[in-house]
Structure 1
Amino acid sequence: MRPSPPAPPSLLLPLAAALLAGLALWPAVGLHPLWWWAWLAPVPLLCLAYGAGTHQARGLTMLAAGIGVSVNAPYFALLMPLPAVGLTLVAQTLAWVFVVGASRRLVVRYQAWWTVLAYPVLWTGLDTLEAAVLPDGNWGSLAYAQVAFLPALQLTSVLGVAGLLFVVALVPATLALALTYGRQLRQGWRAYLLTGLVTGGTLAYGTSRLQNAPAPSGPATTFGLVAIDEGISARTPAVTRATIEQQYARHVAALAAQGAQVIVLPEKIASLPPAQALALQRQLSHLAARQHVWLASGVVEETAPAGRNLLWLFAPTGARVATYQKHYLAPPERGLAVGQAYQVRQVAGATTGLAICKDMHFAALGRAYGQRQVAAMLVPAWDFGADRYLAAGMTAVRGVENGYLVVRASRDGLLTVSDAYGRCLGEQVSAPLPGRTLLVRARVGPPLATAYTHLGNGLGWLCVAGGVGLLLLGRRARRPVPSIGSQPAD
Structure 2
Amino acid sequence: MSDLKPVSKAFLAVGLLFAGICWYLSFSLSAHIWWTLWVAPVPILYCSLRLTSKWTFLIAFTGYLIGRLSWVPYLQSILPLPLVFLFTLLLPLIFALQVMAARKLMLTYCHWSTVFVFPVWATTIEYIRFLTARDGTAGSIAYTQCDFLPVVQVASLTGIQGITFLVTFFPTAIAFIIYRYQRKQSIRTLSFVTIGVLVAVMVWGVVRLNQTSSATKSLQVGMVAIDKRAYHNENIKGEDRDLYLANLYLRQVGELVKQGAKIVMFPEKMFTVRANRRPGFIQQFIDTAITHRVCIIACVTQQKGDYYENRAWVIKEDGALLADYQKVHLFEGELLDSLKPGKEPGLFLRNGTTEGVAICKDMDFQQYISRYSRADCDVLYVPAWDFERDGWMHSRMAMMRCVEGGFGMVRNARQGRLTINDYCGRVLYEANSDKGTPVLLSGNIDIQHHATLYNKWGDWFGMLNAIAFLVSLVLLVKARRT
1:472 matched to 2:471? The reply is no
Alignment of 1:249-398 (within 5 A): 249-276=250-277, 278-335=279-336, 336-398=339-401
What SS does structure 2 have at the residue aligned with 1:475?
helix
1:179 matched to 2:181? The reply is no
Q: Which amino acid aligns with 1:476?
A: K
Residue 453 of structure 2, aligned match among 429, 446, 451 = 451
Q: Determine if contact 1:357/1:381 at 8 Å carries over to the other structure.
A: yes
Instruction: Report what 2:40 is aligned to.
Output: 41
Instruction: Report what 1:483 is aligned to.
Output: none
CA deviation digits over 1:80-136, x for unaligned, max 9? 111111121222222212222211221222232111101111111111111111111
What SS does structure 1 have at the residue aligned with 2:324?
strand
Q: Which amino acid aligns with 1:167?
A: L
TM-superposed CA distance for 1:245, in Å, is 3.1
Once the two structures are overlaid, the 10-residue window that deviates more, 125-134 or 20-29, is: 20-29
Q: What is the number of residues matched between the two proteins?
A: 470
Q: Determine if contact 2:137/2:366 at 8 Å carries over to the other structure.
A: no
TM-superposed CA distance for 1:273, in Å, is 3.7
1:191 matched to 2:190? The reply is yes
Output the CA distance in 1 between the equivalents of 2:345 and 2:72.
Answer: 34
Q: Which amino acid aligns with 1:437?
A: L
TM-superposed CA distance for 1:246, in Å, is 3.2
Q: Which amino acid aligns with 2:108?
A: R
Output the CA distance in 2 between the equivalents of 1:80 and 1:61.
Answer: 26
Q: Determine if contact 1:234/1:273 at 8 Å carries over to the other structure.
A: no
Q: Determine if contact 2:422/2:446 at 8 Å carries over to the other structure.
A: no
CA deviation digits over 1:192-235, x for unaligned, max 9? 21111011101011111222x12342222111111225275998
CA deviation digits over 1:281-331, x for unaligned, max 9? 333232222222111121112334432111111111233321111122123
Alignment of 1:89-128 (within 5 A): 89-128=88-127
Output the CA distance in 2 between the equivalents of 1:347 and 1:229.
Answer: 31
Output the CA distance in 2 between the equivalents of 1:431 and 1:244.
Answer: 19
Instruction: Report what 1:27 is aligned to.
Output: 25
Residues 313/233 of structure 1: CA separation in 2 closer, same or farther (3 Å cut):
farther
Instruction: Report what 1:3 is aligned to.
Output: none
Output the CA distance in 1 between the equivalents of 2:247 and 2:128.
Answer: 46
Output the CA distance in 2 between the equivalents of 1:93 and 1:283.
Answer: 52
Residue 464 of structure 2, aligned match among 441, 462, 465 = 462
What SS does structure 1 have at the residue aligned with 2:304?
coil
Residues 92/365 of structure 1: CA separation in 2 closer, same or farther (3 Å cut):
same
What SS does structure 2 have at the residue aligned with 1:18?
helix
1:224 matched to 2:257? The reply is no
Residues 267/106 of structure 1: CA separation in 2 closer, same or farther (3 Å cut):
same
Q: Determine if contact 2:220/2:263 at 8 Å carries over to the other structure.
A: yes
Once the two structures are overlaid, the 10-residue window that deviates more, 372-381 or 354-363, is: 354-363
Q: Determine if contact 2:358/2:381 at 8 Å carries over to the other structure.
A: yes
Output the CA distance in 1 between the equivalents of 2:313 and 2:168.
Answer: 41
Q: Which amino acid aligns with 1:25?
A: W
Output the CA distance in 1 between the equivalents of 2:22 and 2:401.
Answer: 28
Residues 439/349 of structure 1: CA separation in 2 closer, same or farther (3 Å cut):
farther
TM-superposed CA distance for 1:368, in Å, is 1.1
Q: Determine if contact 1:399/1:405 at 8 Å carries over to the other structure.
A: yes
Residue 401 of structure 1, aligned match among 401, 404, 414 = 404
TM-superposed CA distance for 1:405, in Å, is 0.9
Output the CA distance in 2 between the equivalents of 1:67 and 1:154.
Answer: 30
Output the CA distance in 1 between the equivalents of 2:14 and 2:344.
Answer: 52
Output the CA distance in 2 between the equivalents of 1:44 and 1:381.
Answer: 40
Output the CA distance in 2 between the equivalents of 1:235 and 1:357.
Answer: 28
What SS does structure 1 have at the residue aligned with 2:323?
strand
What SS does structure 2 have at the residue aligned with 1:269?
coil
Output the CA distance in 2 between the equivalents of 1:236 and 1:145.
Answer: 43
Residues 241/272 of structure 1: CA separation in 2 closer, same or farther (3 Å cut):
closer
Q: Determine if contact 1:401/1:453 at 8 Å carries over to the other structure.
A: yes
Q: Determine if contact 1:124/1:463 at 8 Å carries over to the other structure.
A: yes
Instruction: Report what 2:3 is aligned to.
Output: none
Instruction: Report what 1:429 is aligned to.
Output: 432
Q: Larger RCO: Structure 1 or Structure 2 (Cα < 8 Å, ≥ 6 residues apart)?
A: 1
Once the two structures are overlaid, the 10-residue window that deviates more, 348-357 or 269-278, is: 269-278
What SS does structure 1 have at the residue aligned with 2:413?
strand
TM-score, normalised to structure 1's length? 0.89
What SS does structure 2 have at the residue aligned with 1:94?
helix
Q: Determine if contact 2:45/2:99 at 8 Å carries over to the other structure.
A: yes
TM-score, normalised to structure 2's length? 0.90
Once the two structures are overlaid, the 10-residue window that deviates more, 314-323 or 368-377, is: 314-323
Residues 423/16 of structure 1: CA separation in 2 closer, same or farther (3 Å cut):
closer
Instruction: Report what 1:5 is aligned to.
Output: none
What SS does structure 2 have at the residue aligned with 1:384?
coil
Once the two structures are overlaid, the 10-residue window that deviates more, 170-179 or 424-433, is: 424-433
Gaps in structure 1 of 5+ consecutive residues = 1-8, 481-490
Residues 277/89 of structure 1: CA separation in 2 closer, same or farther (3 Å cut):
farther
TM-superposed CA distance for 1:19, in Å, is 4.2
What SS does structure 2 have at the residue aligned with 1:438?
strand
Output the CA distance in 1 between the equivalents of 2:56 and 2:107.
Answer: 12
Output the CA distance in 2 between the equivalents of 1:93 and 1:228.
Answer: 40
Q: Which amino acid aligns with 1:53?
A: T
Output the CA distance in 2 between the equivalents of 1:16 and 1:215.
Answer: 48
Output the CA distance in 2 between the equivalents of 1:311 and 1:228.
Answer: 18
RMSD of equivalent CA atoms: 2.5
Output the CA distance in 1 between the equivalents of 2:260 and 2:357.
Answer: 22
Residues 478/77 of structure 1: CA separation in 2 closer, same or farther (3 Å cut):
closer
Q: Determine if contact 2:420/2:445 at 8 Å carries over to the other structure.
A: no
Once the two structures are overlaid, the 10-residue window that deviates more, 102-111 or 182-191, is: 182-191
